[in-house]
Structure 1
Amino acid sequence: MPEIGKLLETGDPWEPYLLLDPFGSPVEPVSVYFKDLMAGPYSPLTPRSYGMDLLRWWRFLWVLGIEWDRATSEDARDFTLWMKLGDKPVRVHWRHRGKDPSEIPPPRADRPAPGTPNPVTGKPTVGTKYSPRTRAHFETVLRTFYDWHLDNNSGALLVNPFPLDRSRHRGKRRPNGQGEQGRQGERANSHHNPMDEFKKERKGRYRPTIPKQIPRRIPDDKYTEVFAGLRSHRDRALLAFWVSNGARAEELLSPKQCDAKVGQQTIGVIRKGTGEYQELPANTDAFVWLRLYQEEAWKKGVPRGRAQPLWWTLRRPWRPLEYDAARMMFNRANALLGANWTLHDLRHTATFLMLDDPDMPPVYVQKILGHKHLSTLDIYSRPTKDDVISAGLAHHARQEKKRNDPPPATPAPAYNRESLNVLFGGPSA
């Protein structure tokens, strides 16, 4: 797929992202859709997430010369097959852009092959194909995009090329209160009884099945090794906060200097999605590292003030720390171990630590994590891969010990009951 067109970040809060065609002109159907997203309860990063999927779809349409409002379900089917079978484009590192391919060094031989499990963490590395989660996100974005234009009568669009699953259109007829006939299955879990569990209903015809993933925790010994590989007090403070209060990576980067309340041992963050302010508890080690970082940073000239950001870059010019820089910091510490843990695994690790405490009610863990429902903690009650392997090996060890133990001694023969009656004067036979 030729990489024509691009998604442009404008810096304009009214229109943060624009999808541009190969000639540099905005794609009007996408621009109108983005404005509707910005007016709704969505994050400013939502147009970026949706825009990447829309750009991929528009490139397919541009190559085949298909107008966006003339695409059919066959076109959507072919593109879904391409995403399932085709390879992802290889991104060239910025250091190697413009160089001759012969001058680019080959990948390191000690790195695991794409898609294979990491030898340290057991997590699969990024593969060469699009993952089911990426394809499911694409299908949802495109189906809702076309549904929105159908509702607004945009262009010559007549049908949605990304239809619902066929089985959901053949629902049974249900009489309503006035004797009329209504059709079930117009949406997933329609007419759901709140007392029952939600059914697993597929929404889109081309939506893949997403395998359920069990959260992974970083073992204590490995966490100690990662922590030892950090280069600054700032990084140690960040890691200590992430693994103690379970905040999301971008949430912990949101506090101001006044939000770190050492006396109360809490730090205030802006919650993702809702945008609400919430104070989270953290352990004392995190505040010790934070104080060491602040003393060091203020001596270097980092801006100081209650309204100033809490986290800054380590070098001039001073800039507030962003997510990409924090992620690269953690990746460098990972590289020392050959691991591929992510910042979100720190949130999972904090959740496991809180749930392992019998005196910590799960409802409090739910509030600390910012989850809407308590049922979202069910995934942490499932055994992890490491737990299953450890339990299996312990079982085999017990069986081996049982086979190697000497056989139990043969019990002594019992006394004859008639002889005991004669000896002790019991009843005669």
Structure 2
Amino acid sequence: MRNVSGLVLPKVGAVRSTTSRELPWQITGLPAASDNRVIEGFLLELSTNDCSSQTLRSYAFDLLRWWRFLAVIGIRWDAATREDVRDLVLWMRQPQPTMGARPYLPASINHMLSVLSVFYAHHAQRGIGPVVNPVPAAPSGVRRYAHHNPMDAYKTGQRAPYRQRTMHTRPRALSDDLIDRTFAALTSTRDRALVAMYLATGARASELLGMTGRDVDWGNQTVAVISKGTRAYQWVPTSPDSLTWLRLYLDEAPPAGLGDALWRTLRRPHRPLNYSAMRAALERVNKSLGTDITLHDLRHTCATRLANDPAVPLTDVQAVLRHAHLSTTSRYIHVQTQDMLARVRQHHQKPPGQPQPTKPAWGYDSSDLADLFGESQ
């Protein structure tokens, strides 16, 4: 058995953005030029299949991690075996010094396995790489419930080897107190405007960062974003508070034109603000407050507030979040812990034995009876 405890991956290769529409992301700097071409061909295939730029970026980072792991164990990509994939999973399950001594999440490990499985299947069709896919498949060999009869009940199936057990947890929403502390810890008007916009619109991180000056309708209090999944240009409502912060930000650093990026770096030369820069700003807040807030938590917070407001129909919440299925939106309907604790404290503060106020019974008004049956009745 290979000992992977304490294994440190080398800093070889990098994921770079390009100006090409066909291949917006690629891996460069690998020792073997042929490896760069192998990965580039796979990413180009994904792009041809109409995968989004963010999907290509995610696949590229997973493949780079795999190449760095192979460099440590001294194995070529086309000679990888099932045991090598097993050791990768064992390494990802151990605490990572670069991640605050935390292991990779089960969902991250499963995503890594999915990327490698598709990568090796792609090259196997072209007669390149291992004869057998090193990523083991599920025992049935097909996707679970791919042809499920909706009249039959779902049955628990066996997970594919090395796939991690994932727990269905509720989306995490931030409390009002934590939001106030977050705003106080932010250091620029731009960051406060962005956080306020995230909380008001429920937009994803990349969707808001891609806005331009013409994507704000001040009169109707809406902003336009390009949805991550469908890539449709859609208008979503926002709050007056977020527009106020946006106006303050534009007064400090107005964009050059309506077609230019709305969110830009604060230092010159001004460039469009990317995801990494905004995440770094939030990491500074986390370091100051001792929290672990993510940009997606802001979307969860907006969704939870809307879904638990009795005045807002769930279908309206689905439209704001742009979910394809209503079942996805219904995950946000749950009891807020802070509200539950406040109600329980209020209950315990009542004097013992205090009778509950009784509601008057329903009955007829005497004047109505007199008009209907006469005074004699």
The TM-score normalised by the length of structure 1 is 0.71
1:198 offset after TM fit, Å?
A: 5.7
CA contact 1:18–1:26 (8 Å) conserved in 2? no
Counterpart Cα distance in 1 of 2:76 and 2:117? 16
3-state SS, counterpart of residue 280 of structure 1: strand
Q: CA RMSD in A?
A: 3.0
- Assess, with a 3 A threshold, how the Cα gap between structure 1 residues 391 and 71 changes in structure 2: closer, same or farther: farther
Structure-2 residue corresponding to 1:21: 30
Counterpart Cα distance in 1 of 2:57 and 2:212? 26
- Assess, with a 3 A threshold, how the Cα gap between structure 1 residues 162 and 389 changes in structure 2: closer, same or farther: farther
Structure-2 residue corresponding to 1:51: 60
1:17 offset after TM fit, Å?
A: 0.5
Which of 67, 82, 89 is residue 80 of structure 1 equivalent to? 89
Structure-1 residue corresponding to 2:171: 215
Which 10-residue stretch deviates more, 288-297 or 266-275? 288-297
- Assess, with a 3 A threshold, how the Cα gap between structure 1 residues 392 and 204 changes in structure 2: closer, same or farther: farther
**What is the one-letter code of the residue matched to 1:88?**
Q
Counterpart Cα distance in 2 of 1:202 and 1:28? 36
- Assess, with a 3 A threshold, how the Cα gap between structure 1 residues 287 and 66 changes in structure 2: closer, same or farther: closer
- Assess, with a 3 A threshold, how the Cα gap between structure 1 residues 143 and 25 changes in structure 2: closer, same or farther: closer
Which of 246, 262, 270 is residue 218 of structure 2 equivalent to? 262
Counterpart Cα distance in 1 of 2:198 and 2:39? 37
Counterpart Cα distance in 1 of 2:261 and 2:275? 14
3-state SS, counterpart of residue 74 of structure 1: helix
Which of 9, 13, 17 is residue 6 of structure 1 equivalent to? 13
- Assess, with a 3 A threshold, how the Cα gap between structure 1 residues 198 and 362 changes in structure 2: closer, same or farther: farther
Aligned length: 346
Residue by residue over 1:24-81, the C-alpha shift from the partner in whole angstroms, topping out at 9 and shown as x without a partner, is 6544432221110111221223233222322333334344443433333233223322
CA contact 2:308–2:333 (8 Å) conserved in 1? no
Which of 351, 376, 380 is residue 303 of structure 2 equivalent to? 351
Residue by residue over 1:261-306, the C-alpha shift from the partner in whole angstroms, topping out at 9 and shown as x without a partner, is 11111111111122111101111122222222222324xxx42x22
Superposed, which structure 2 residues align to 1:322-401 within 5 Å?
Answer: 322-383=274-335, 386=338, 397=348
Structure-1 residue corresponding to 2:98: 90
1:20 offset after TM fit, Å?
A: 4.4
Which of 131, 151, 158 is residue 105 of structure 2 equivalent to? 131
Structure-2 residue corresponding to 1:281: 237
Superposed, which structure 2 residues align to 1:103-252 within 5 Å?
Answer: 114=100, 127-150=101-124, 152-155=125-128, 157-166=130-139, 168=140, 186-194=142-150, 201=157, 204-252=160-208
- Tell me the percent identity: 39
**What is the one-letter code of the residue matched to 1:21?**
L
Structure-1 residue corresponding to 2:371: none
**What is the one-letter code of the residue matched to 2:313?**
P
Which 10-residue stretch deviates more, 188-197 or 338-347? 188-197
Counterpart Cα distance in 2 of 1:321 and 1:263? 26
1:373 offset after TM fit, Å?
A: 0.6
Counterpart Cα distance in 2 of 1:10 and 1:379? 35
1:18 offset after TM fit, Å?
A: 2.3
CA contact 2:15–2:60 (8 Å) conserved in 1? no
3-state SS, counterpart of residue 17 of structure 1: strand
Structure-1 residue corresponding to 2:361: none
Residue by residue over 1:335-385, the C-alpha shift from the partner in whole angstroms, topping out at 9 and shown as x without a partner, is 443332222111111111211221211111111111111100232124455
Structure 2 gap segments, 5+ residues each: 1-6, 355-377
Aligned pair 1:315/2:267, yes or no? yes
CA contact 1:20–1:26 (8 Å) conserved in 2? no
Counterpart Cα distance in 2 of 1:80 and 1:4? 19
- Assess, with a 3 A threshold, how the Cα gap between structure 1 residues 155 and 371 changes in structure 2: closer, same or farther: same
Structure-1 residue corresponding to 2:365: none
The TM-score normalised by the length of structure 2 is 0.80
3-state SS, counterpart of residue 174 of structure 2: coil
**What is the one-letter code of the residue matched to 2:45?**
D
Larger radius of gyration: 1
Residue by residue over 1:113-154, the C-alpha shift from the partner in whole angstroms, topping out at 9 and shown as x without a partner, is x4xxxxxxxxxxxx432221221111111112122223x232
**What is the one-letter code of the residue matched to 2:258?**
R
Counterpart Cα distance in 1 of 2:291 and 2:47? 38
Which 10-residue stretch deviates more, 277-286 or 3-12? 3-12
**What is the one-letter code of the residue matched to 1:9?**
R
3-state SS, counterpart of residue 90 of structure 1: helix
Counterpart Cα distance in 1 of 2:38 and 2:168? 34
Residue by residue over 1:172-204, the C-alpha shift from the partner in whole angstroms, topping out at 9 and shown as x without a partner, is xxxxxxxxxxxxxx2211321245676554553
Counterpart Cα distance in 1 of 2:184 and 2:45? 47
Aligned pair 1:61/2:34, yes or no? no
1:19 offset after TM fit, Å?
A: 5.2
3-state SS, counterpart of residue 98 of structure 2: coil
Counterpart Cα distance in 2 of 1:76 and 1:193? 34
3-state SS, counterpart of residue 16 of structure 2: strand
Structure 1 gap segments, 5+ residues each: 92-113, 115-126, 170-185, 407-429
Residue by residue over 1:156-186, the C-alpha shift from the partner in whole angstroms, topping out at 9 and shown as x without a partner, is 53211112233x35xxxxxxxxxxxxxxxx2
